[in-house]
């Protein structure tokens, strides 16, 4: 028996093991996927396989549909098994629920005008969905479908650039298996995520010579969040420097920068009643947007020196590895990623420079444009097997870094456990419209009401509390105390704070629904 045949049999055996791991909790599916990937990679090294003769457009269509269905399933089941959070799914559910009811952009996480936190008027587009099917599921499914459609734009721009639908389809598939895209999708719902398909559509429109369409897509991106303007600045740089459309590019970048300044300096503070709250991540550079920009421009060496950390280098590697470093082969085509990368790398908040967070929405589209251009250069200089081999390397790296996604498909992960079913029964007993303070996992399920808070916030305003008694003392609220005396429960949010008294309205498993006395 040849080595290639042995590896084929081993891959089949591992595939059967993966199926077993998805059905029964005997091994982490992620680790079996990595083993399969290693075997397949070795098999391809011994005897390269022929490229399948599949129709590229059919591959893209099947990939888009599969992604939308798969991630709708993953995100919705994560929600029903209490793996979603108040921030940000609960926040956006409450926001759109208020918009759909004509109450305006109000939230209580924290209690404020929503545009005083992030300016996201794009959320008005989700109002019709809430008229038909209000709740978290509508947002999660819509996000998965919209992110899936980004593959169509990747295919379109790659086909125009490469003149061949086969590598264009490969890039569309690379997009669909990208680990950053997966991380963004499974982390609740974020308006920032919508920037990805919109920017990709803008790139496609520019490649097709339809600049007004590109401006329309960029305008929609600006409606997602105020900091999406940073990505649109990048789009303007790309249009000007890569496509030599100087006036269009400069106009885009200048308009986006001006909009960002107006929103951060006046508009958002006007809704909030105080200064823009998210610049704390850059307070080592300055106290305002002009100061931060001045520090970066006037002290470039000092600024760059702050970036030389292991965590940031790992972050860059995790972004580039799934594209086999191809964006580095076309620096001018990748230039648009610089503003988004600067936003993330200059931050002192590590969430921004983690490759699976929503902040990569302002970087990822540019990396794919750069990767397509890098592939075009490679194909021109090294025709033959080399370009296809690089795509295989990119696919292997993408699947390896995305392998944790398969864990969410294990039955024991998505099938509700008795404790989770008990929580759903108790959630059904919370009076509609009642003000509630609840622990974080419950909040997305309770967000369609005027007032919902993350426990212990809002105790003085809440009619009901929902807590998990078995997790007391609560690690995330170390100062809170709970004392139960029969059907009476006393809760103090912090040392020295007054005790709030409640009666047990309902109890199911470890979950307590408390009503103010």
- DSSP, collapsed to helix, strand or coil, labels residue 501 as strand
Q: What is the mean pLDDT of residues 136-140?
A: 98
**Which of 321, 326, 319, 320 has the alpha carbon at shortest distance from 354?**
319
Look at residue 308 in the predicted model and tell me its pLDDT: 84
Lookup: tokens for 327 = 């964006």
The distance from CA 510 to its chain's CA centroid, rounded to whole angstroms, is: 31
Q: Is the confidence at residue 37, as pLDDT, over 80?
A: yes
Q: Report percent pLDDT > 70 for the chain.
A: 100
The 3-state secondary structure of 32-62 reads: HHHHHHHHHHHHHHHCCCCCCCCCHHHHHHH
Neighbours of 328 (CB within 10 A): 13
Q: Give the pLDDT band (50/70/90) at residue 497.
A: confident
Q: What is the mean pLDDT of the chain?
A: 94
pLDDT given for residue 45 in this prediction: 83
Rank 9-23, 257-271, 303-317 by mean pLDDT and report only the highest: 257-271
Q: Which of 458, 442, 435, 456 is nearest to 510 (CA)?
A: 442
Both tokens assigned to 148: 């899936």
Provide the token pair at 444.
Answer: 């997305």
Positive/negative CA dihedral, 235, 392, 67, 448: negative
Helix, coil or strand: residue 426? helix
Look at residue 233 in the predicted model and tell me its pLDDT.
Answer: 98
Answer for the pair 185, 75: CB distance below 8 angstroms, yes or no.
Answer: yes
8 pLDDT tier (thresholds 50, 70, 90): confident
pTM of the model: 0.95
The better pLDDT of the pair 61, 477 is held by 61
In angstroms, the CA 74 to CA 159 distance is: 30
Residue among 330, 320, 322 nearest 379 (CA):
330
188: left (phi over 0), alpha (psi -120 to 50) or beta: left
Q: Quick one: tokens of 110?
A: 């924290």
pLDDT value of position 114: 97
Residue, of 392 and 308, whose pLDDT is higher: 392
Residue 27 is predicted with a pLDDT of: 86
* Alpha helices for 263-405 (secondary structure H): 268-272, 289-298, 300-305, 310-320, 337-345, 364-381, 385-402
User: What is the β-pairing status of strands 436-438 and 464-468?
Assistant: parallel
pLDDT of 301 reads: 83
The 10s digit of each residue's pLDDT in 230-269 is 999 999 999 999 999 999 999 999 999 999 999 999 999 9
pLDDT of res. 47: 77
Q: Kindly indicate the confidence band of residue 297, based on its pLDDT and cuts at 50, 70 and 90.
A: confident
Average pLDDT, integer, range 29-44: 91
Residue-level pLDDT at 288: 87
pLDDT-based confidence at residue 52 (cuts at 50, 70, 90): confident
- List Cβ<8 Å contacts ≥24 apart for 107-115: 108/450, 108/451, 108/452, 108/453, 108/458, 109/443, 109/447, 109/452, 109/453, 109/454, 110/457, 111/451, 111/453, 111/458, 112/271, 112/272, 113/271, 113/272, 115/267, 115/268, 115/271
> Can you give the pLDDT at residue 210?
95
Tokens 């997790």 found at: 471
Of the pLDDT bands very low, low, confident and very high (cuts 50, 70, 90), residue 476 is confident
Round to whole Å and give the CA distance between 329 and 332: 9
DSSP 119-173: --GGGGGGHHHHHHS-SHHHHHHHHHHHHHHHHHHHHHHHHHHHS-HHHHHHHHH
CA distance 77 to 82: 9
In this prediction, residue 43 carries a pLDDT of 86
Convert the pLDDT of each residue in 62-71 to its tens digit. Answer: 999 999 999 9
Helix (H, G, I), strand (E, B) or coil at 261: helix
Look at residue 369 in the predicted model and tell me its pLDDT: 98
What length is written for the chain? 517
Task: Note the pLDDT of residue 298.
Answer: 87
Host H or E run for residue 506: strand 500-508
By CB neighbour count within 10 A (0-12 exposed, 13-18 middle, 19+ buried), where does 307 fall? Answer: middle
Domain ranges of the chain: 3-52, 56-381, 418-516
pLDDT of 447 higher than 80: yes
DSSP labels, 431-500? PTT--EEE-GGGHHHH-SSS-EEETTTTTTT-SEEEEEGGGPSPTTSTT-EEEEETTEEEEESSTTSPPE
Task: Between 141 and 480, name the one with better pLDDT.
Answer: 141
Say what the pLDDT of residue 300 is.
86
- What pLDDT sits at residue 123? 98
* Beta carbons of 436 and 467 less than 8 angstroms apart: no
How many Cβ atoms from other residues are within 10 Å of residue 251's Cβ?
15
Q: What tokens were used for 215?
A: 């401006």
- pLDDT of residue 1 exceeding 80, the answer is no
Other beta carbons within 10 Å of 432: 7
DSSP state of 381: H
Eight-class DSSP state of 190: -
**In the numeric block, which tokens belong to residue 298?**
């006037």
Report the SS3 class of residue 294: helix
What pLDDT, on the 0 to 100 scale, is given for residue 26? Answer: 80
Closest CA to 466 of 444, 493, 436: 436
Q: What is the pLDDT of residues 399-444, one digit of tens each?
A: 999 999 999 999 999 999 999 999 999 999 999 989 999 999 999 9
Distance between CA atoms of residues 42 and 32, nearest Å: 15
Q: What is the pLDDT of residue 457?
A: 94
């Amino acid at each position: 028996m040849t080595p290639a045949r042995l590896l084929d049999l081993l891959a089949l055996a591992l595939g059967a093991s993966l199926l077993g791991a998805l059905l029964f909790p005997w091994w982490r599916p992620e680790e079996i996927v990595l083993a399969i990937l290693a075997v397949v990679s070795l098999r391809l090294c011994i005897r390269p396989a022929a490229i399948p003769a599949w129709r590229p457009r059919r591959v893209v269509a099947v990939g888009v549909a599969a992604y939308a269905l798969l991630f709708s399933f993953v995100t919705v089941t994560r929600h029903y098994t209490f793996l979603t959070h108040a921030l940000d799914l609960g926040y956006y559910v409450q926001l759109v629920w208020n918009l759909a009811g004509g109450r305006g952009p109000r939230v209580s996480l924290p209690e404020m005008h929503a545009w005083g936190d992030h300016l996201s008027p794009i959320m008005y587009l989700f109002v019709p969905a809430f008229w038909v099917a209000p709740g978290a599921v509508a947002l999660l499914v819509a996000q998965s479908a919209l992110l899936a459609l980004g593959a169509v734009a990747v295919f379109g721009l790659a086909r125009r650039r490469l003149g061949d639908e086969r590598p264009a389809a490969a890039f569309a598939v690379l997009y669909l298996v990208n680990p950053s895209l997966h991380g963004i999708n499974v982390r609740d719902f974020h308006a920032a995520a919508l920037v990805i398909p919109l920017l990709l559509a803008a790139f496609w429109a520019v490649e097709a010579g339809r600049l007004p369409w590109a401006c329309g897509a960029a305008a929609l991106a600006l409606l997602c969040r105020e900091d999406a303007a940073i990505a649109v600045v990048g789009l303007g740089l790309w249009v000007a420097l890569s496509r030599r459309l100087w006036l269009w590019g400069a106009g885009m970048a200048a308009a986006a920068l001006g909009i960002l300044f107006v929103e951060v300096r006046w508009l958002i503070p006007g809704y909030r009643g105080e200064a823009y709250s998210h610049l704390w991540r850059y307070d080592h550079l300055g106290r305002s947007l002009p100061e931060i920009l001045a520090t970066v421009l006037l002290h470039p060496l000092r600024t760059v020196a702050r970036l030389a950390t292991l965590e940031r280098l790992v972050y860059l590697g995790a972004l580039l590895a799934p594209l086999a470093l191809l964006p580095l082969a076309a620096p001018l085509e990748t230039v648009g990623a610089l503003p988004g990368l600067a936003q993330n790398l200059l931050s002192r908040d590590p969430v921004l420079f983690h490759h699976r967070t929503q902040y990569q929405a302002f970087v990822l589209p540019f990396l794919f444009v750069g990767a397509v251009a890098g592939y075009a250069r490679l194909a021109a200089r090294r025709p033959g097997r080399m370009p296809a081999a690089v795509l295989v390397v990119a696919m292997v790296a993408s699947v390896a870094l995305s392998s944790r996604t398969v864990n969410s498909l294990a039955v024991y992960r998505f099938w509700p456990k008795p404790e989770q079913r008990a929580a759903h029964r108790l959630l059904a007993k919370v009076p509609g419209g009642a003000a509630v303070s609840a622990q974080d996992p419950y909040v997305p399920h309770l967000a369609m009401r005027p007032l919902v808070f993350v426990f212990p916030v809002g105790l003085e305003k809440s009619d009901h509390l929902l807590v998990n008694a078995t997790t007391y003392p609560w690690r995330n609220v170390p100062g809170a105390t709970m004392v139960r005396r029969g059907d009476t429960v006393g809760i103090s949010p912090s040392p020295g704070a007054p005790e709030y008294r409640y009666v047990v309205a309902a109890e199911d498993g470890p979950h307590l629904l408390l009503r103010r006395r």
